[in-house]
Amino acid sequence: ILRNSAQEQLDTHGAETQSATDAVPRRLTATVFIDGLDSDRACERTGKLLAHIQRIGVTPVVLLTSNTSDGSHAQAGYRGIIKRVHQLADAIEREGGKARPINEGIFFNNPYTPSDLSVDPELIGAAIAQGQTPIISPLMADSALQVKVLKTPLAAPALARALALSTSTQHAMAGSRGEFSLLLARLILLGRHDGLTNGDESVFHRFINLEEDYREMAAGCKQTGQLDLMRTCLGILPPTAAGIVASVDSDPSLVLKGLISERPVSTQHKSAAQRVQRDRDAAQRKLQRSRLAVPDYKPLPNYPFVRVGGSLGAATVPQEPVATPTQFTLLRHGFQIQRHNKVDSCNLPRLRGLLESSFKRTLDGGQYFDRLRALESAGGIEIIIAGDYQGAVIVTHEPLPSSDTHLPYLDKFAVLPSAQGTGMADILWAQLRRACPSCMWRSRNDNGVNRWYFDRSNGHFRSPAPKPNETGTRWVFFWYQSQTPGQRTLTADEIHAGIGVSQSIAPSFV
């Protein structure tokens, strides 16, 4: 899945194409920076994670980072790095993976680069060609053959530049079975923290659009060094690469899910919590039936206003504590964001082109934009544009019948085909959640995006299918609710009324 996704994303962004006779094969890789291997347990857990990444067809290129001062010749620091590199390689191989420690020959002085530092990718390519995970020490011999321990802000960007260059078929790596280029999917930073937080750790940042959020984040982020490093390296790597900041003690299964799906951790937590709750509910019903001989009636899972069954009485299932999934922060280099509350302040031809390209249908522009203009002075509208009209979210505040309140309604969510794979959808979704803490929308029952919506919603309702002699569309109505105390949430009555309002909105495409 990850290989096909990354290849499609790369082709979308103008990757080189060659004829079948001279094509260079690509190797799917992830760049991994590790800081915090301070114990044998951390080595074992990180080795397990890297072996699992290798098992799904992705070769990690690992750099052990160091906080040692640049130019240090301290024997303790040198010996400690060498020890950890070999410990990590042994841990990977105990989990069934393959690893190759590389302690020298990678970094060298180059006065023609901004940092005076370059990387020789030959040893890295040799390891990848043999199916091994290269584990690189941040060591370099200077002109006097004295070993230096390189600081992370120097070594990590130099490695990222070399790997980014190797994504081009013109700078392919040499392997034992011929040349190959790299297909970089992820940049992973494993450190001492479960992602990025604010100064007092009261706010955990699950998703960061660096282009838009960096300035605000840098002012209050506790892990400023990690934030700056990810910003620098993601700016070097292809735009399809995503960044993950996690702990060396992270749950390998959760990081692997983020590696494959690119979903922010909040949706991983939601899915895990839903599975746990479903298992508990099933066990509860089974125990109740066995004790009280209750007939096995099936509930109505898609209707939010009907509660099937009453109290379960005294029959209970012992609930064992469930560990909270390890958190991580997902980062994208991202896009600048524009916000509008009037239709005519947008570039309407470009907005229309975006909507038509995304939905692959012709927009009834006159009727649609007139509807938005009418709502400007009623409930209001919010238009969020990402990048150079590469993505957009349009929210309308629809008046509810017999009420003074308005329903925040997601009218359009659009991403250009050429921007798919850049994290645009998650960037727009994060902006939507900021603008509208609670929201509702509709989607056709056969829409392929519905699975993505299910992961990000708190509830849904399917409208009945039209009868054979009737015409109409079968919709799925979704909503999400704010989890922040004090922010507005939709009541059951508002959701019920919102379904009727949503269903009555005229189609905007012809």
Asked if residue 355 has pLDDT above 90, the reply is yes
What is the predicted pLDDT for the residue at 33?
Answer: 94
Q: What is the pLDDT of residues 227-286, one digit of tens each?
A: 999 999 999 998 888 899 988 887 777 777 767 665 554 544 455 455 555 656 666 666
Q: How far apart are CA 150 and CA 375, in angstroms?
A: 58
The model's pTM: 0.72
Q: What are phi and psi of 403, to 5 degrees?
A: -155, 155
What is the predicted pLDDT for the residue at 180?
Answer: 87
Q: Which range (41-45, 88-92, 173-177, 304-308) has the least confidence?
A: 304-308
Whose structure tokens read 């991202």? Answer: 334
Q: How far apart are CA 495 and CA 47, in angstroms?
A: 48
Beta strands in 114-268 (DSSP E): 117-119, 133-136, 139-141, 147-149, 173-175, 178-191, 196-197, 204-205, 207-209, 242-247
Highest mean pLDDT among 96-100, 314-318, 468-472: 96-100
Q: What are phi and psi of 111, to 5 degrees?
A: -70, -10
